[in-house]
Amino acid sequence: MSDIISAEPEAGVAFDTVVPVEKPLQSDLSVLPELLEVDLLVRAAEARAKFNVDGTGLTVAVLDTGLRTTHVDFAGRVKASRNFTTDNNGSPTDAKDGQGHGTNVAGIICAGGVHTGMAPRANVVPVKVLDNSGGGSFLAIRDALRWVLANRAALGISVVCMSLGASDNNTTDAGFAGDGVGVELRKLTDAGVACCVAAGNDYFGHSSAQGMSYPAIFRQTISVGAVYDADEGSFSYGSGATALSTAPDRITPFSQRLHATAGGDCATDIFAPGAPTTSSGIRNDTGESIQHGTSQATPVVAGVILLVQQLHLRATGTMPSVADVRKWLLAGAVPIVDGDDEHDNVVHTGQTFSRISAFGALTACAKDVARTALIEAGIDRSRA
């Protein structure tokens, strides 16, 4: 396996440090239901059964605080580990998670033990770019993306999950030309690796102005906002955002959002359930954790993409392009209106966004594959 990062000239990054991610609430026991509610909202279990997919043979790289690799949720499926922090004595191959965010995120994607993620048989590569305080460097993230690019073939990496970002709010990526993180995200996307990035949690802090944080704003990413998955009561967040009540498909008051009418090609691609979400924990090898955020919505999308990629690969023998994956996610999505029933303390856009459906995305992929097969056989029924 190659450890080459890049022989190219160094490219700078727009921001020095990542906004520290919050620690999930940890529990010794597996008792909380919210990952099941995520699964129900996006119809993931139904989709896995109908299309006979579970992520087998594919790998996700999770750029985060690391992973409790000994957790039963990931047994036998940790392909490699990489550390870009000074934690764990700076060992480059020790991505142990002392904070919990990365383990929670990875579990949402591919837990397959006491918890069940979206793609429960997919492999995982933890790439520790955030230290045990939850913070990190965007230069380290740039280098980590280069490492993923260099090692994607050997490890079978087809999805990158980045539940992290700066604290800014952008409507375009035009100001980031030549940015090192953006350059690597584009290269990965061109190579067929879908890069899922959290839209950001500062909608309230930015006075309800539309936009997304860096690096989600890059048009080559699949950017993800958060909705609630069920009626969970009310929540108040440290940012000042408050949900007076909650219900399925209500956009969370913290989630940054950018509609195509304001952001064009840089708009928020899709929303997913992200509050509150239960997943794997770091206290022990069967523990769990719970957290709210676009950080939790992003791995839902990453896991669904693994299922779509598996279906396409099995049906055609080839991996789909990221453009096709995005097309199927949107074609199979559920429309949600920002402001139709939200009950919170932010101003709403009144715009219609898309919320991911695993069943819908896989159906859209399957239909496209079937139609292509008909065309190649000279039987295009759309022209009949």
Query: Which residues belong to the active site?
Result: 64, 101, 295
Per DSSP (E only), the strands in 216-375 are: 222-228, 235-236, 242-243, 270-275, 277-280, 288-291, 334-337, 352-355
DSSP secondary structure string for all residues of 112-134: BSSSB-SSTT-EEEEEE-B-TTS
Q: Which residues are CB-contacts of 36 (< 8 A; sequence separation ≥ 6)?
A: none
DSSP state of 256: -
Q: What is the distance between the alpha carbons of residues 112 and 126, in angstroms, rounded to a whole number? A: 16
Q: Using the 8-state DSSP alphabet, how is residue 383 labeled?
A: G
- Cα separation, 234 vs 221, in Å, equals 31
| Residue 79 · residue 110 · CB < 8 Å | no
* Through-space distance between the first and last CA atoms of the chain, rounded to whole angstroms: 51
CA angle 229, 234, 240 (to 5 degrees): 105
| Residues contacting 158, CB < 8 A, separation 6+ | 58, 59, 60, 152, 192, 193, 194, 305, 306, 309, 319
Q: How far is CA 269 from the centre of its chain?
A: 11
